[in-house]
Chain A
Amino acid sequence: MHGRVLIAMLLAALIATPAFADRYVISVLILVFYFAYVGQAWNLMMGFTGQLSLGHSLYVGLGAYVAAGLWLHAGIGPWLGVFAAIAVAAAVGSVTGWLSWRFGIEGVYFALLTIAFAEFTRIGFDHIDMLGAAGGLFLPVNAEEAGQWWNLRGGPLLFYYLALALVAGATLAVAWLRRSRLGYQWVAVREDSEAARALGVDVFRAKMIAMLISSGMTAVGGVFYAFYHRNLFPGQVFEMGRSIELILAPIVGGLGTVFGPIIGAFILTPLGEALIAATERSGFNAPGTKAVFYGAALIAIIYLVPSGVWPWIARRLGFSEHRQ
């Protein structure tokens, strides 16, 4: 059980970090937590259930817009708005899942459909005037709201601890789900859906539940995103690049593992930040420089540890339960 001790120590260190870290480190860690969190949500679909969604920015965006819209137009705070955000994203997620899996759309075709849904939604939001349309939606920063943490108005520390709580909660939930009846059904569907069916697994139902949980969880990340950044543009939040961005951490960290998304986010986000800093300092600021180095690093990592960094670390630490 030295694994649990290690996790507890890591968590304690992260809780203590703001005491000695500067604003920049805090802001990078907030990003790390954000990507670890949405990575956990996406990993339920791809890593556990084997369903490749390339349109998860859809649920981030819906969560963000629903909560921001409710706040701006109805004065409903994010703590309540988050439930509406989850409901809307889960509803759209289940429509996507139903339309594909009821009609036998699988694999890459499913992935294409998820992209299409995100794109349609982006175009739609470009024309919703109430939500700022293509010109963007802004959450004003009023002086009298300052310090209203319950309305997600606060400094970096508020968002730091909120994001940390989201990751910790998501990780606990995912670890529990993996070892639940549903979790076993998910991995069975991923490994061989016909064999799963022969063992009594309702494959459609298992996938739909994965979709509901994943899209709902992702929407919570969207609410966080909206109130942290306080501006939303359809072209930014729903864009396909955003969907790709949020799947990298679980892929690099280890698909279908509980700690993969966290490890991946801890590697990729600081790497991206370091590359930005390095290109700025070197004065060599040609467009795409960061992307080239980032891509090269991704290739190197995936080449060196194809099944992800976490399984590799786990084997080194003797956590792996499987004998090869």
Chain B
Amino acid sequence: MTTALLTVTDVSKRFRGLTAVDRISFEVAPGEIFAVIGPNGAGKTTLFNMIAGVIACDEGAISFDGARIERERPDRIAWRGVGRTFQIVRPFPALSVEDNVMVGALLRSHHLDAALEITHAVLRQLDLFDKRLHLASTLTLPDRKRLEVARALATQPKLLLLDEVMAGLRPTETDRMVGILKEINRTSGVTILLIEHVMRAVMALASRILVLHHGARIAEGAPNEVVRDPAVITSYLGAEAL
């Protein structure tokens, strides 16, 4: 698969004695929705942060869209076409919802009118258009989660990194988010790399799943193969499946 959009090769990260990510390799094809799951502390966010350039990896290589990015700065990686959300949401609190998204839209369109057009389109996709003039600090958690996605999407990424955007949402909100993400993937063809705990959402969205445990890969494959994998059931799904 030389046509992969994202190629992660033998990437590791240690924090003092702890190996948070242990020689992980995987590929994500253009247009695909790829999920990374695993228990808390498995190293999912750390892996994400290495792809986004926030954390330098100790070993390994990361290629995106034909270029090596493991030594690049986060803003350069964003410029190359990686949009990311934060597990713990980080809106710009004193700015309106619209201005939050404008910052993202202005990455590629230098004109305000064009950026505002993108912003409004994205806000409609994320069901935030009616709240566009509210301050981000006044939003509820589900709205903030969707604002994270909207802001990243406004940068018109080729790859969208979503870190637990369903966490803390009620089932109806989760279904709403799943619907939105499916629609975005279908219409704009953006590739999605998803970290998720909510198995319902993962099963509904992902075409392939990578399972991490203590930083290491324990399984990878199609959703219905992965959920039947004995190693996955004992280390991760066990408690929830019962």
CB within 8 Å of B: which A189-242 residues:
191-192, 194-203
B95: chain A residues at CB < 8 Å are 187-188, 191
Contact status A184-B96, CB under 8 Å: no
Given contacts A184-B106, A200-B75, A200-B155, contact A324 B135 (CB under 8 A): yes
> Does A323 sit within 8 A of B, measured CB to CB?
yes
Query: In the complex, what residue of chain A is closest to B104 when comparing beta carbons?
Result: A199
Query: In the complex, what residue of chain B is closest to A202 when comparing beta carbons?
Result: B75
Given contacts A187-B92, A191-B94, A203-B75, contact A196 B133 (CB under 8 A): no
Query: In the complex, what residue of chain A is closest to B135 when comparing beta carbons?
Result: A322
A203: chain B residues at CB < 8 Å are 75
Write 7 A-B pairs (CB below 8 A) sorted by A numbering: A181-B115, A191-B94, A194-B54, A195-B86, A198-B84, A201-B103, A201-B107
Choice from B52, B84, B102 contacting A184 with Cβ under 8 Å: B102
CB within 8 Å of A: which B111-159 residues:
112, 115, 133-135, 138, 151-152, 154-155
Contact status B134-A195, CB under 8 Å: no
Contact status A199-B135, CB under 8 Å: no
Given contacts A195-B86, A197-B75, A198-B84, contact A184 B135 (CB under 8 A): no
B138: chain A residues at CB < 8 Å are 324
Q: Is the interface of B mostly helix, strand, loop or mixed?
A: mixed
B115: chain A residues at CB < 8 Å are 181
Contact status B99-A192, CB under 8 Å: no
> Does B228 sit within 8 A of A, measured CB to CB?
no
B102: chain A residues at CB < 8 Å are 184
> Does A114 sit within 8 A of B, measured CB to CB?
no
Contact status A184-B107, CB under 8 Å: no
Given contacts A191-B94, A321-B133, contact A181 B106 (CB under 8 A): yes
A322: chain B residues at CB < 8 Å are 96, 133-135
Contact status A198-B78, CB under 8 Å: yes
> Does B110 sit within 8 A of A, measured CB to CB?
yes
A179: chain B residues at CB < 8 Å are 112
B-contact 0/1 string along A287-324, CB 8 Å cutoff: 00000000000000000000000000000000001111
B133: chain A residues at CB < 8 Å are 321-323
B91: chain A residues at CB < 8 Å are 192, 195
Contact status A188-B92, CB under 8 Å: yes
Shortest Cβ distance from B190 into chain A, in angstroms?
Answer: 16
CB within 8 Å of A: which B73-110 residues:
73-75, 78-79, 83-84, 86, 90-96, 99, 102-104, 106-107, 110
Residues of A near any B CB (own CB < 8 A)? 179-181, 184-185, 187-188, 191-192, 194-203, 256, 321-324
Among A187, A200, A256, A322, the one with the most B-chain Cβ atoms within 10 Å of its Cβ is: A200
Query: In the complex, what residue of chain B is closest to A187 when comparing beta carbons?
Result: B95
Choice from A180, A187, A192, A323 contacting B90 with Cβ under 8 Å: A192
Given contacts A187-B92, A192-B92, A322-B133, contact A197 B106 (CB under 8 A): no
Given contacts A184-B103, A324-B135, contact A199 B78 (CB under 8 A): yes
B73: chain A residues at CB < 8 Å are 197
A187: chain B residues at CB < 8 Å are 92, 94-95, 99, 103
Shortest Cβ distance from A84 into chain B, in angstroms?
Answer: 32
Contact status B112-A191, CB under 8 Å: no
Among B86, B99, B103, B133, the one with the most A-chain Cβ atoms within 10 Å of its Cβ is: B103
Choice from B90, B107, B112, B154 contacting A195 with Cβ under 8 Å: B90
| A248 to B138 CA separation, bound complex (whole angstroms) | 29
Contact status A199-B155, CB under 8 Å: yes
| A188 to B90 CA separation, bound complex (whole angstroms) | 11
Choice from B110, B135, B154 contacting A181 with Cβ under 8 Å: B110
Given contacts A198-B74, A199-B78, A200-B78, contact A185 B103 (CB under 8 A): yes
Contact status B103-A188, CB under 8 Å: yes
B52: chain A residues at CB < 8 Å are 198
Choice from A184, A198, A202, A324 contacting B86 with Cβ under 8 Å: A198
Shortest Cβ distance from B154 into chain A, in angstroms?
Answer: 8
A321: chain B residues at CB < 8 Å are 96, 133
Contact status A199-B90, CB under 8 Å: no
B135: chain A residues at CB < 8 Å are 322-324
| A324 to B131 CA separation, bound complex (whole angstroms) | 11
Query: In the complex, what residue of chain A is closest to B102 when comparing beta carbons?
Result: A184
Shortest Cβ distance from B113 into chain A, in angstroms?
Answer: 11
Contact status A185-B106, CB under 8 Å: yes
A192: chain B residues at CB < 8 Å are 90-92
15 additional contacts (CB under 8 A) given A200-B78, A201-B103: A179-B112, A181-B106, A187-B103, A191-B93, A192-B90, A194-B90, A195-B92, A198-B75, A200-B75, A256-B94, A322-B134, A322-B135, A323-B134, A324-B134, A324-B138
